[in-house]
Amino acid sequence: MQTADKTLDEILNLAATHFKVSRAKLSPDDDFFKALGIDSLQTLDLLTKLENHFHVELPDYELQGVTDFRTLAGKIQSRL
């Protein structure tokens, strides 16, 4: 299983690439809604990208209230 740091790094890379934001501007504790400038529909898009990338299922309710990359990485790491 890959490390939590690697998972977090991959999430940041994927988010930066997909939403065309500079990777250097993204930090683990950023609010990803603000950092990526995304709405609820785009959040679903991100969720799908993450599921496809990590080959995991992320039930929506587990992500309720999750707003930062680090916590998101933890949720994904628990399903790898």
Partner 1 sequence: MNTELSWTGETMSYRCKDGLLELSLHRNPCNEIGSVSLNELESFADALQVLKQPAHALIISSDLKAGFCAGADLRELYERSQTMQKEDAAKGVRKFLERIHRALNSIDAAPLTTIAAVHGVTFGGGFELALACDLIIADKTARFCFPELRLGLIPGFGGIPRLKRDVGNAVVRDLLLTGRSFNTTKAQQIGLVSQVVSEGEALRAARATAAQIAKFDRQTSAAAKQFIKPIPHEELRREIDIFCDLFSRPAVQAGLKKFVESKDAQPYLP
Question: With binding defined as CB under 8 A, does residue 40 bind partner 1?
Answer: yes
Using alpha carbons, select from 22, 48, 52, 51 the residue that is nearest to residue 37: 22
CA distance 38 to 4: 24
Among 6, 13, 27, 45, binds partner 1 (CB under 8 A): 45
Task: Decide if 68 contacts 32 (C-beta within 8 A).
Answer: yes
Least distance in Å: CB of 44 to partner 1?
Answer: 6
Question: With binding defined as CB under 8 A, does residue 11 bind partner 1?
Answer: no
CA distance 8 to 41: 22
Least distance in Å: CB of 71 to partner 1?
Answer: 14
Question: With binding defined as CB under 8 A, does residue 41 bind partner 1?
Answer: yes
Task: Decide if 35 contacts 20 (C-beta within 8 A).
Answer: no
Residues in contact with partner 1 by CB under 8 A are 33, 38-41, 43-45, 47-48, 51-52, 57, 59-61, 64
